[in-house]
Amino acid sequence: MFRDNEKISATQIALILTLTMIGTGILTLPQSLAKEAGADGWIIIVVGGVLGIALANIYGYIVKSHPHTKYMDILSMHLSKYVAYVIVVMTIIYLLILNGFIIRIFGEAIKMFLLFKTPIELIIFSMLLVSVFLVRKGIETLGRFAEIMIPIIFIPSLLLFMLALQNAEMKNLLPVFQVSIKEIVKAIPIVLFSFLGFELLFIFGFFVNKPKEISEPINYAMIFVILAYIFLNSMTLLNFGVKQTQHLIWPTLSLFKTIEIPGLFIENVEALVMSIWVLIAFTTIAPLHLATSYLMADIVGMKDNKLLALPILPIIYLIAMFSENIAETYAHLDKITNFLAPTIVMIIPCILALVIYARRRSGREGNKI
Amino acid sequence: MAQNSNDKTNNNRMNKNLETNIETFKEILKDCKDIVYRKIEIGKDIKLNAAIIYLDGMIDRNLVNEYVLTHLMLTCRMTEPNPKNRKGQFVEQIKKNVLAVSDMKEVETIDDGILNILSGETVLLLDDYEKIIIIGSRGWPMRSVSEPITESVIRGPRDGFTETLRVNTALIRRRIRDSQLKVHAMQVGRRSRTDVAILYIEDIADSGLVEEVKKRLEEIDVEAVIDSGFLEQLIEDNWISIFPQIQNTERADVASAALYEGKTVIVVDNSPFVLIAPSTFNAMMQSAEDYHERWMIATVVRILRYFAAFLSLLFPALYVAITSFHPQMLPTSLVITLSANRSGVPFPAIIEALLMEVTIELLREAGVRLPGPIGATIGIVGGLVIGQAAVEAGLVAPLMVIVVAVTAIASFSIPSYNIAIAFRMLRFIFIVSAGFLGLYGIMLILTAVLVHLCSLKSFNTPFLSPFVTVAENTSALKDTIVRAPTKFMKR
């Protein structure tokens, strides 16, 4: 099936983006927030989220003003062809690196909680193979997959969080409003990382059947993710308190480790949580992989992105295995979130939106384009 | 019949001479000893030579003898044909006043005539007349309408389809007294010329869908169609998939309900299984009974069925994963029992599971092939004796026997045999993946299966709808895992 025949609905793209975002932030957000802002992490999430919503609407504006146009074509239309090439290559590199690190973190977590003796290479490689399988099926499949994943992921997660409440201490959420504005600004990159995945809207926007209706679902998706993160953050703090959260690598997973359901068939829900975690990670890794393949196909001038699914695998794999250990992975990831991500996620889209806006205005005043 | 196509240009038209025509028929139908040629004379004063040709065993002999031959040979003499206008009026008279049959038509070419003979019609040839009169006389021994074996219900109608197309379409017609129910007839198979009927309700079914079904059926180019299962494989979307994308049913009420839902039903002659296209996973997990029972019962049964599907797919794999990778998941006392159980077993859990699963698949296959009572015996012998013996011989753990048994029972609870068999095959993949990567392996394969299911389409309908079209059509969820009260289901 060629790309031009593939269509997803505005809701489906919002769901894809929701799942992609959740996957990047869910593991580490509470820990980084606890480090930066103590019990006031939710304020940073809200501030970051508002920024995210603003960005999302800028993206939405770009996609809406050029319906059914590829990202690269939009770029070359407004910023000349060479600039477009540079930006797309940068975006590809960024997506590959991001994906590589995410899958590394995923693999480490699986190894730590589920498969203690299995080599991490095998864990990462097998996951990527399944991702290739999805990429070869295309965006339509991903859209449907996202729809079916929402209940499968969120209903059990919610139940598990409810179970985690048994150890909750309300006073862990206090004191509030201790964080200063300076600290908020400093912490924004961390929150921004948790919202990464949203930039895929550019690449997937091409496939939306009714681009005009895209704003509403996207805003809902953002609000949903903000609420989910606030919920996650509060749950972690309720259980562990600020001090302990700061010292956990993956507070979210540790949170579930504390759950005990005596008398039930499954005594230890950790393995169950890890199973859901596989799905959450997959819904982040596969969209990134798919987006990379689409952009690569554009650069090379291929009509069909299917063939690129497999060649991308070794690249992501090598990036994933690049770091020696998990601490190094996080160090590398910080560099991305501090430099490459803001450029691609914030600066370029804003410039692009400004150019489009300016051209439209001048066009409206003169002849209509 | 092969000559039929070779000599098409020569033999296509009828000759004026009766004898020549009969010779042509005999030439084409050479060495077909079951064709009967019967020459007769019609009329009292002027004798008009005529002949009937039919396929022995395919016609209703009573009808031909009493209402065709008797009338042509005897009753005909009572009327007085006008010799002067013999050519025009006499034939008209025979058609209008003599042949006392309800279904009669004329064809012009010998090819058509032969096709009609082979379909069980009787052909009447008249001297000096260039058309072939076809007398509808199909009638052959057929199975009467009986209770469907594969989809039995406790409550609901008990009439199932038979091997005869007309009976099947009539069974559906009886449930839909609507002029909008269209029956589009066609023939598939170069040699078998199997009758195929596409049924749809015109103002409910999407016209694009109907066109697509017709197009795919017309594109089929095969020698013969033996059964609807054969046809199904030729028109389905993805032949590489493990999952069926077209539903089949033996039940007239299921087919009618599908028609009311805007689907098309394909009836194939000689097959008691009609096809429903498009079909979805959801539809295949339903049973006709769900609509006849009260909604709460139906909902609970459906949840049970999805649970059965889950067990049938994953239970042995979970056993393997938990015993070899994640024993900490289970309550401590159970872990102790389990390891005590398994202490004498020489194999790893994956070998144990594969061994038992293969055994039970063998038993099942053997049970299907053997006649009824012996089949049941095989089940008991296999299930009890082999299971017990395997445990005592120390080959498998007792818990494994329970797992395998529950899995087998669960897989029988899935209403659609097609889906159940797909699950059976996938189960082995899951066991292997669990043996290598534990729960993680299971989740990976499960993800892959879900991705594959999401990519499947049946005649442009996503196979997993309405689960994957929630945003567009939320109300369709009323008839999925939950069966909403009949009051709230718009039909």
- For B281-324, what is each residue's pLDDT tens digit? 988 888 888 888 888 998 999 999 999 999 999 999 999 998 88
Chain B residue with CA closest to A217: the answer is B471
pLDDT at B8: 46
pLDDT at B430: 96
Percentage of chain B surpassing pLDDT 70?
94
- pLDDT value at B419 more than 60: yes
pLDDT of A107-164, one tens digit each?
A: 988 888 888 888 999 999 999 999 999 999 999 999 999 999 998 999 988 888 888 7
- Cβ atoms of A341 and A55 closer than 8 Å: no
How many CB atoms are closer than 10 A to CB B490? 6
The answer to whether ipTM exceeds 0.85 is yes
The whole-number pLDDT of residue B267 equals 95
**Which of B135, B151, B186 is the endpoint of a domain?**
B135
Across B400-429, average pLDDT: 90
| B247 & B350 share domain | no
B451 with A141: Cβ contact below 8 A: yes
Q: Could you tell me which residues come within 8 angstroms of residue B54 by beta carbon, excluding any fewer than 6 positions away? A: B35, B36, B64, B117, B120, B121, B122, B123, B137
A263-270 — which CB contacts under 8 Å span 24+ positions?
Answer: A263/B331, A264/B331, A265/B330, A265/B331, A266/B329, A266/B330, A267/B329, A267/B330, A267/B331, A267/B332, A268/B328, A268/B329, A268/B330, A269/A160, A269/A163, A270/A113, A270/B328, A270/B329
Instruction: State the pLDDT confidence band at A363, using cuts at 50, 70 and 90.
Output: confident
Nearest-CB residue to A115 (from B437, B452, B455): B437
pLDDT at position B7 is 46
Instruction: Look at residue B455 and tell me if it is in a domain.
Output: yes
Q: Where does the pLDDT of residue B216 fall: very low under 50, low under 70, confident under 90, or very high at 90 and above?
A: very high
- Reply yes or no on whether the pLDDT at B261 is more than 50: yes
Strand positions, DSSP E, B226-381: 247-249, 264-268, 274-277
Instruction: Give the mean pLDDT of chain B.
Output: 86
Residues B270 and B308 in one domain: no
| B332 or A263, which is more confident | B332
Q: pLDDT at position B467, please?
A: 85
CB contact, 8 Å: A270 with chain B? yes
Per CB-CB distance under 8 Å, the chain B contacts of A130 are 444, 447-448, 451
| B329: nearest CB among A126, A138, A266 | A266
* Structure confidence at residue B87 (pLDDT): 55
Name which of A147, A208, A274 to mutate to probe chain B: the one with the most chain B Cβ atoms within 10 A of its Cβ. Answer: A147
Q: How far apart are CA B210 and CA B199, in angstroms?
A: 9
Interface check B241 vs A, CB under 8 A:
no
Whether residue B387 sits in one domain with residue B453? yes
**Which residues of chain A have a CB within 8 Å of the CB of B474?**
none
What average pLDDT score do residues A229-246 get? 86
The number of domains in chain B is: 3
Q: Are residues B17 and B113 in the same domain?
A: yes
Per-residue pLDDT, averaged over B366-373, amounts to 78
Same domain for B187 and B57: no
Chain-chain contact of B452 with A133 (C-beta, under 8 angstroms): yes
Query: Which of B135, B155, B184 is at the close of a domain?
Result: B135
What is the C-alpha separation between B338 and B397, in angstroms, rounded?
A: 8
Using CB atoms, pick whichever of A114, A130, A143 lies closest to residue B438: A114
- Percent of chain A whose pLDDT exceeds 90: 27
Residues B335 and B261 in one domain: no
* Nearest chain B residue (CA) to A11: B471
Residues B173 and B128 in one domain: no
Please check whether residue B125 lies inside any domain of the structure. Answer: yes
pLDDT in tens, A195-234: 888 889 888 988 998 888 888 999 999 999 999 999 888 8
Instruction: Name the β-bridge partners of A156.
Output: none
Q: Which band of pLDDT confidence, cut at 50, 70 and 90, is reported for residue B476? A: confident
- What is the C-alpha to C-alpha distance for residues B219 and B196, in angstroms, rounded to an integer? 13
In a domain, B477, yes or no: no
Both B268 and B329 in one domain: the answer is no
- Quickly list H helices, chain A: 10-25, 29-37, 41-65, 71-79, 81-113, 120-137, 139-164, 181-194, 200-204, 215-247, 251-257, 270-300, 309-322, 326-335, 341-342, 348-365
Does one domain contain both B214 and B329? no
Do A148 and B443 make contact, defined as CB atoms within 8 angstroms? Answer: no
Predicted confidence (pLDDT) at residue B343 exceeds the cutoff of 60: yes
B222-226, B338-342, B377-381: segment of lowest average pLDDT: B377-381
Q: Which of A169-183, B123-137, B180-194 has the lowest mean pLDDT?
A: A169-183
Provide the b/e sequence for A253-270 (b: ≥16 CB within 10 Å).
Answer: bbbbeebeeeeeeebbbb
Question: Hey, which residues 5-24 in chain A have their CB within 8 Å of chain B?
Answer: 9, 11-12
Q: Please answer whether residues B413 and B302 qualify as being in contact, where contact means their C-beta atoms are separated by less than 8 angstroms.
A: no
Q: Report pLDDT for B275.
A: 94
Domain limit, last residue, from B232, B247, B279: B279
User: How confident is the model over B98-116, as a mean pLDDT?
Assistant: 86
pLDDT average, residue stretch A339-366: 82
Least trusted range by pLDDT, from A279-293, B152-166, B462-476: B462-476
pLDDT band at B214 (very low <50, low <70, confident <90, very high): very high
Q: Which of B454, B458, B465, B474 to mutate to probe the A interface, most A CBs <10 Å? A: B454
- Is the per-residue pLDDT at A365 higher than 70? no
B245 CB-contact burial (10 Å; exposed 0-12 / middle 13-18 / buried 19+): buried
Cα four-point dihedral sign B292, B297, B303, B307: negative
Q: B411 with B423: CB under 8 angstroms?
A: yes
Thinking of the domain A3-365, which architecture would CATH place it in? Up-down Bundle (1.20)
B53 and B86 belong to one structural domain: yes
B257 and B326, same domain (yes or no): no
Average pLDDT over every residue of B342-357: 88
Query: Taking a contact as any Cβ pair under 8 Å apart, which residues of chain A between 113 and 152 contact chain B?
Result: 114-115, 118, 122-123, 126-127, 130, 133-134, 137-138, 140-145, 147-149
Evaluate whether residue B484 is within a structural domain: no
pLDDT for the residue B6: 44
Measure in Å the smallest separation between the Cα of A283 and chain B Cα atoms: 10
**pLDDT for res A318:** 92
The predicted structure's pLDDT at residue B443: 94
Mean pLDDT of chain A: 85
- Domain check: are B270 and B362 in the same one? no
Tell which residue, B320, B281, B321, B309, has the closest CA to residue B423: B309
What residues of chain A lie within 8 A of the CB of B335, using their CB?
Answer: none
* Residues B29-80 pLDDT 10s: 889 889 999 998 887 666 788 899 999 988 888 888 888 888 888 877 766 5
What pLDDT is stored for residue B300 in this prediction?
93
Domain hosting B361: range is 291-462
